[in-house]
């Protein structure tokens, strides 16, 4: 089965058509950017792939799971392999950075020492070591954004869906974040990254470029890792 395959996917919020006839594929370990203006449907597409919004029309396979054939009880299995980094972070504000990143590792039953080591590794990679024991509601927007990234990367999913992950980062921090993504990609993690930032795709050589305009894909430039349709 394909790793990610989207076929003729459309989505409506009431009368508003948010996605129309979207088609693309991504191979295991691939990297794709979804660009496009505000309201183009980027978040809607990521939420469908994450099983957050129902697949109303069309067919989709994500991390080897068919969204058409999947029971709701299988959603946690999908989300183990396809992590969404939300545009608004959705970290726990009253918990520390450490606690937020540790939580999904603890849920998976990792021993405490391994949890601590993995959290430290992620905090180092994302420049969060200094604030590791701060509550998240004391952090800046960019720091919170990096906590959300650290939490997703820590568990080593097959696919990361990232919604505007550099939205609150300065250009240097954005560059460093793309470096972290590139490294994880080198180790086999696939990425689909939604962004307004036209500079990001250039930071990942060979990435696939998908451009959404008013719910339609208007360009699908093939990188080296796209699957043919």
At closest approach, how far in Å is the CB of 43 from Mg ion? Answer: 3
Q: What whole-number distance in Å separates Cα of residue 32 and Cα of residue 53?
A: 21
Q: What whole-number distance in Å separates Cα of residue 68 and Cα of residue 14?
A: 21
Of 43-82, binders to ligand ATP (CB under 6 A) are 43-44
**Partner from Mg ion, ligand ATP, none contacting 18, C-beta within 5 to 8 A by type:** ligand ATP
The residue among 42 and 151 lying less far from Mg ion, judged by its C-beta, is: 42
Element (H, E) at 77: helix 75-81
The residue among 43 and 166 lying less far from Mg ion, judged by its C-beta, is: 43
Size of the site for ligand ATP (CB under 6 A): 13
Q: Does 138 bind ligand ATP (CB under 6 A)?
A: no
The residue among 108 and 199 lying less far from ligand ATP, judged by its C-beta, is: 199
Tokens 């980027």 appear where? 42
At closest approach, how far in Å is the CB of 41 from ligand ATP? Answer: 4
SS3 22: strand
6 Cβ contact partners less than 8 Å away, ≥ 6 residues apart: 22, 23, 24, 25, 45, 49, 58, 59, 60
Q: Does 25 bind ligand ATP (CB under 6 A)?
A: no
The residue among 88 and 137 lying less far from Mg ion, judged by its C-beta, is: 88
Among 30, 41, 51, 223, binds ligand ATP (CB under 6 A): 41
214 Cβ contact partners less than 8 Å away, ≥ 6 residues apart: 20, 39, 40, 41
Q: Does 43 bind Mg ion (CB under 5 A)?
A: yes
Among 39, 64, 142, 156, binds ligand ATP (CB under 6 A): 39
The residue among 35 and 158 lying less far from ligand ATP, judged by its C-beta, is: 35
Residue 19 pairs in a beta bridge with 11
Element (H, E) at 227: none
Axis crossing angle, helix 141-154 with helix 112-125, rounded to the nearest 10:
130
Q: Which of 80, 14, 87, 81 is nearest to 47 (CA)?
A: 87
Site residues, ligand ATP (CB under 6 A): 13, 16, 18, 36, 38-44, 87, 196
């Amino acid at each position: 089965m394909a790793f990610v395959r989207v076929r003729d996917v459309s989505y409506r919020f009431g009368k508003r058509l948010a996605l129309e006839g979207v088609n693309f594929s991504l191979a295991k370990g691939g990297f794709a950017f979804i660009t496009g203006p505000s309201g183009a449907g980027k978040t809607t597409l990521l939420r469908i792939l994450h099983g957050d919004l129902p697949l109303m029309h069309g067919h989709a396979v994500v991390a080897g799971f068919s969204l058409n054939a999947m029971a709701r009880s299988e959603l946690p299995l999908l989300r183990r392999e396809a992590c969404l980094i939300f545009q608004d972070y959705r970290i726990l504000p009253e918990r520390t950075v450490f606690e937020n990143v540790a939580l999904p590792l603890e849920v998976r039953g990792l021993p405490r020492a391994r949890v601590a080591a993995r959290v430290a590794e992620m905090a180092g990679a994302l420049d969060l070591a200094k604030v590791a024991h701060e509550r998240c509601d004391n952090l800046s927007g960019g720091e919170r954004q990096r906590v959300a990234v650290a939490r997703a990367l820590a568990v080593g999913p097959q696919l990361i869906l990232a919604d505007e992950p550099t939205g609150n980062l300065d250009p240097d921090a954005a560059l460093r974040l793309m470096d972290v993504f590139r490294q994880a990609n080198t180790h086999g993690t696939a990425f689909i990254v939604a962004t307004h930032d036209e500079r990001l795709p250039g930071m990942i050589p060979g990435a696939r470029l998908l451009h959404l305009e008013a719910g339609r894909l208007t360009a699908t430039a093939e990188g080296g890792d796209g699957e043919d349709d």
